[in-house]
Structure formats: structure tokens, C-alpha cells
Amino acid sequence: MPKIPKDLKKGVWTEQAVKVLEERYLKKDNNGKTIETPEEMCWRVSWEVASAEARWGKTKKEILETAKDYYNLLVKHEFLPNSPTLMNAGTGNNLQYSACFVIPVEDSIEGIFDALKYQALIHKTGGGTGFSFSRLRPHGSMVKTSSGTASGPVSFMRIFDAATNEVKQGGKRRGANMGILRVDHPDILEFIHCKEEGGITNFNISVGITDKFIEAYKEGKDYELINPKTKEVSGKLSAKLVFDEIVKSAWKTGDPGVIFIDRMNEGTSNPVPLLGPIESTNPCGEVPLYPFDSCNLG
């Protein structure tokens, strides 16, 4: 990477901005001492991003001009890439630049803890994770292999929550998670209240709202709960009662949000339906993603 060209301007940074950059983004030596200025960070990222143009035949001179343009956007605060890019680009640490991933959670011990492993690795390198826990059988279901009963999705969410507490994003901050449960899952009421006092703290949570639920709410009727393991109806709930519980908990804790899961997979909303339904989004909810898809935010 060449040195910052002398004709590039310096940025204007508030004291708070410099503090955040030093805590999270500026390079450090083995003793934890900051060895990079904000401008050097901007140039490091700009050169790394622009260098990708070499794959398409751009010359070093053209890459340099692209890097300068990108640098100017950063120091003028007109654009910033996501945190993993600021943390990792140009450092040689071989960590990813993508911000967030959706990880599938299968209905087995192996599948659940595979997802937990992926979560830890992604958080370690600066990313966030989105999950749908809707495939997990409800609390009290029979587990044939152990002749025991399942503890349900919320209990496993607590394990993901605890792991997030211990694994900082990129070694700098706690990770971000999205947890989604379909409104027709038998454990939906437990899920709605799982962030209340003493509950889960490292997740945004959203209820996957279906068209059938909306119709039942409009008509003041009950709707069916479906066991995801057996695909059979396991009970009914009042749509109004469930919606009221969502509202109460959202007022109390800020969660859950709602995701219109059927609408998300309808028509052009899902451009590749042959891959199956989309079940989750990134942690902040902007981007619906398939399992192991990533998003690059800026």
C-alpha cells in the first residue's frame, strides 16, 4: 500500500469521533497502542477497496485515482463502509468485510450448535448474525433419540445470548443478533416476552407475521399453531390476544418487532423462490437473506 498522497486533505474529527475510532477501528500494535491516525485508516480502507479493480484490468494509476476519490468521501463524512471493512480492510488479518450473515438453525443438537459455532466465528471477526428459530420443535415435544423432551427455541436462544456476551465483534464490541419466530409457532407467547427483565439482552427479536394471522386478527378469530417438527396443528390462540401481547412487550422493552414473513416471500419480494422461503434478516432488519448469505452495508 502506498503512503497517503500529499495532495489529499485531512478530515475534521470531533473528540468523540476520535475516541470511537481509537476504541474500535484504528490499528494497534501488539501492546494495544494505537498506531494509526483517522486519515491513515481512511487511506488503508480506500486503497484496499480500490485495489479490487486490478482484477478487471485497471492500472495502478487508475486504482490510485479511485482510492483518492474513495478517501475523499470518507474524510468528508459523505460515506462510510460498515464496521468490518473499517476494522479489517488492508490490515492483512484475512478477516471478512461483510457486515451481517443469516445462519440456519436446524432442529437437532448438531444443527443448533453448528449455528452457535458460526455465530461465534462471525462475531469474532466483526460481523452480526440473524437467525430464525422457527424450525425448532416447541417446549415439551418428545425427543426420540434421548427419550426426553425438548426445551424449545427460547431456551436455546439464551445459549446464543450468553455466547454473544463473551465473544466481542472483531475483539472490539459485543455482537449483534436478530432472532425470529413465526407467529404460528407453539412457543410464540414465551418468545414475545423473552426480553423482559432478566431475559435475553443481546438480540433484536421479531415475530414472523403470516397472512393467516392478519386475517384472523381482522375477523376477531383464533388462529392455528403449527408444530414445525410434525407440521400438525397443536393448538389455537386468539389473534387479538397475541397482537396485544406483542404491543405490550414492545412498549415495555422495545421488542419484539414484526416481520411480514409471507409478504417477504411473495412475488418479486423474493427474487429466487426456487431456493426456498426466506426465513430471516440481518440483525437490524434491513435485508432479508437466505442461509449463509451476507450483506454489505454502508
Domain ranges (residues) in the chain: 15-80, 100-295
User: Which pLDDT score is estimated for 169?
Assistant: 57
Residues annotated as catalytic (active site), given as ranges: 282, 284, 286
Query: What is the CATH code for 100-295?
Result: 3.20.70.20
Alpha-carbon distance 185 to 233, whole Å? 10
User: Which pLDDT score is estimated for 149?
Assistant: 81
User: Which pLDDT score is estimated for 173?
Assistant: 66
Q: Give the count of beta carbons closer than 10 Å to the beta carbon of residue 109.
A: 12
pLDDT digits (tens, 9 = 90+) for 80-91: 999 889 999 999
DSSP 28: B
User: Which pLDDT score is estimated for 248?
Assistant: 97
Q: Would you state the cell numbers that stand for residue 254, as one nine-digit string? A: 422495545
This prediction has a pTM of 0.87
User: Which pLDDT score is estimated for 80?
Assistant: 95
Cell 439482552 -> residue:
201
End-to-end CA distance of the chain: 23
Nearest to 163 by CA among 133, 200, 195: 200
Q: Which residues of the chain have pLDDT under 70?
A: 144-147, 168-173
